[in-house]
Each structure stands twice: as structure tokens, then as C-alpha cells.
Chain A
């Protein structure tokens, strides 16, 4: 809210800072998803992992991959939300 922004804050600098943080977060999450899925797909399809281990175990492993990417993505979204929410009060970009 505009009323919570201290008067001596350089709004342009804060917007740029927040945009850079957002770009960093989106960039690293995109790289994470790309690399993890690439390596996982290449290794499991080449070895035909589902034929080597019991199928339920392979299913659990796919869930674990989903957890890894899902939790980290949610965590990064929370980091952005936290930075955005507290940036003026805690003067993150001064």
C-alpha cells in the first residue's frame, strides 16, 4: 500500500531491485526444471528403468521427482512474495 512506503524511498530503485530478484528467481527455477527433467528422462528411458525395478517403486520415484521440483518452485515463489511484501519496511534495496 502506498501509505506504507516511507517518503525517502527511491521507488524506481526499489522497482528495479524487485524486478532483478524476480528475474533471478524465474531464471534459476527454469534452469532447475529443464536440467532435472532432461537428466531424469535421458537416464530412465535409456536404461528402461521401469523394467529393472518394480513398477510401484518407479512410480514412487516419479512422485519424488515431482516433490523435488514442486517444493523448490513453491519455496522460490515464497521467497519472492516475502521480498515483495517487506521490501519497503526493511529497506532491502538501500
Chain B
């Protein structure tokens, strides 16, 4: 072959995203957790278990999102956690976390697509779940193939509708008087049905309220002004989630008894149905459908960027790193999400798939703050100029250490009910760590050439 260079190599990703796109990506992926899944905290630990799990997981995600904002604004790369681990930790951690991000989002995409198909079937019984799931995955992959601006603008619209639906439900029940709340009786009966052990067991489902918000920073390479868009969009997204999580817990637990709420598949919709208010039933039904679509759409965007970044550095086949010459999307990586999502979707083990997604996410929540700790150590304030650190989070690196501790506590609570999933997940990522570590032995990094940064502190020390 005369020249094995891909003709698309010189085309970069588009750079036009704004803060509302970053919000749409982050909240779009996560909001589905407010519509379903979060209520398992109630099943395990009652109302107080859910409240504690929501708050503790909230602290973890606030810190993770601040770490991701700082790292994303600094590196301005599509690889997100993979890129941060590659630059500041090492190849083993980079490869593992790159795969973890990919698996976390693909598994969520598969789960979302199945739920959309099941919802469609419940409305139109003649629809078959299998082809509908394929249609959802195929359509959203095509939307992402056509480019990130269209995909995230669509996500903004549908996420905003689902987001406003929760706000409307909350104010209808607290201020509007449309919905009769039975807080005193239901909360007193279901405060802590399984005692103290239930409070700890509930922690494992706390991440459902916010799982995936760190992915908002993966749009950094495609932002017009990443050092403003990423921190602003991501923190606005994080607060949006904290607010709707608290609202959701408040009104759902004031309408449905703990025994029903804990096992509900669509708790928002069932709470609306229990309220008997027609416009809320319709609104929450639409919200449930839209939020699943938004989540699947966002996860395709993020998982493809993680795969694209892995491919660019030869961690997986370089062929996947091609950028579409017209749409300027990493189209081969986008298309490659489809067969993997379909395989997950039809494995027949939806709950196992979701648990694998949570375990993959928790691995990220250990490695993201650790990457920030290393970043701060390699580039302390004395040498980190505005280009290295345009956004600087508060109280670092102390809160990063704290978030690692919280992530490990939540990981250990998976022991209750998901011991083998936890064991398999840890084994999978340990093997991945050693594989990437030995395949990509650390090369000397030219920070000036690759990042336009000064040499980190340990290089200076060696020279001295």
C-alpha cells in the first residue's frame, strides 16, 4: 500500500456546542433515573433510606461533576475519563476506564431502548418489542451519525419537556392543590421498614438519581468555548438533577405507599395515575417515553466518543477513529455502538445489564477523582497557567479523596444482592487493566506538543 493513512484523518470533530448542549447531554442521559429505577432505594430502605441514599450519592456526584468540569475544561478532549486517566494516571487505568465508560453507556442505551419498546407496546399492543427495540437503536444511531449538534439539540428539547413535567407535578401537588398528598401517614408507615441495615442496602441504588452526569464533560472537544460551556452546562445539569431528584422523592412517596413504590416499574407514571389527574397522567407518560429516548440518544453520543478516543490512541483498532468528512462525527465509532447495544438488549438479563452499568460507573467514580488528584499534583498552581487550568474547582484535592471513599462505600453495598456481578465486574476490569498496562507501556509525554502545556512538576524536578 502506498499510503495507509485514512483520508478522513485530517478532519476534526465539529466545535460548535454551547452550554445548553452540555446540559442536554448530561441531564438527558440521567433524567431517566428519576422516572424509573430510583425507587429501588425505597424498596431497600424506606423513605429515610431513599433520602439518605439520594443525599449521599448527591454529594458523590457533585464532587465527580466538579472534577469532570475541571478536567474537561483543561484537556478539552472527547475521551473524557479515558483521556484524563491516560494523561495523569497511566495506560492500564486509561484503557480500563475507557472501556468502563463505553460499557456503562452502552448498557444504559440497551436498557433505555427496551423500555421505549415496551412502552410503545403498552400503548399499541400490536407492536412487537424486538423490532421496535431495533428501530429505536437504529434511528438514534442514525441521528448521532448525522452529527452532534442535531443529536444534542434534539436531546435538549425532549429532555426539557421531561424535566418540566417533574416540576409541574411537584408544584401541582405542593402549591396547586390538584393532587392530594398523604405524606404524614405514608411517610410514618414507611420511614424505615427494614431498620438500619435497610439504610445501608439502599445506598447501592442511590447512583440511579445521577448516574452518567459526568458524561457531560465528554462534549468538551466539540464545544465552541469548552472552558465556559463545560463547567457552566455541567453544574447547571447537576443542580437540575439534585432538584428533580428531591421533588420526585417528595411527591411519589406522598402518593404511593412504600410497598407499591418500591416495586413500581414506572413510579412517576403510577404516582400520576394514583393522583387521578388526567393531565398529569398524560404528562408523566410522555415524560417517561421522552426521557428514555433522551437517555439512549445521549449514551450513544458518549459511548461513541469513548471508543473514538480509545481508537485514536490505538487502544482499539485505529480504524474506528475516522471522522465523517461532512457531518464531522466519529461515524464508525457511532455505528459500532449499534451491534453491542443490540447484543446487550437481547441478552435477556436486563437487571444484570443495568447492574454492570452501575459497577462500570462506580469504577469511573474512583478513577475520575484520582485523575484530578494526579492532575493537581503534576500541575500545581505554581506552574498551571490559564491554559492548563481555566476552571478550578473548590476544596480540591480533599473532596476528590472524599468522593473516592464514598464511591468505595457504595461499591461495597452492592454485595447485598449483586455479589457475583460485582466479582465479575471487578475481574473484567482487572484483566483489562493489566492488558492495557502491558500493551501500552508508558511513553515519555511531550506536554508542549500534545497539550500546549508546560512540563509537569516531576519533569522539572528530574532536570534539577
Residues of A within 8 A of B (CB): 21, 24-25, 28-29, 31-32, 35-36, 38-40, 42-44, 46-47, 49, 52-54, 57, 61, 64-65, 67-68, 71-72, 74-79, 82-83, 85-87, 89-92
Contacts and interface: CB of A to CB of B under 8 A. Distances in A.
B248 to A, nearest CB: 10
Given A71-B399, A82-B231, A86-B228, A53 B192 contact: yes
Contacts of B242: 32, 35-36, 68, 72
A46 B225 CA distance: 46
A53 B199 contact: yes
B51 A43 contact: yes
B390 interface: yes
A68 B55 contact: yes
Q: How large is the interface on B (under 10, 10 to 19, 20 to 34, 35 or more residues)?
A: 35 or more
Interface of B is mostly: helix
Interface of A is mostly: helix
Contacts of B188: 46-47
A9 B70 CA distance: 27
A75 B187 contact: no
Per CB-CB distance, the 9 closest pairs between chain A and chain B, nearest first, are A74-B394, A47-B191, A39-B246, A82-B391, A28-B239, A79-B231, A92-B228, A75-B66, A39-B250
Interface in B188-223: 188, 191-192, 196, 199
A75 B232 contact: no
B232 A21 contact: yes
A83 B250 contact: no
B59 interface: yes
Contacts of A43: 47-48, 51, 187, 249-250, 253
Given A64-B59, A90-B227, A78 B187 contact: no
B278 to A, nearest CB: 26
B454 interface: no
Contacts of B231: 78-79, 82-83
Contact of B246 (A35, A54, A78): A35
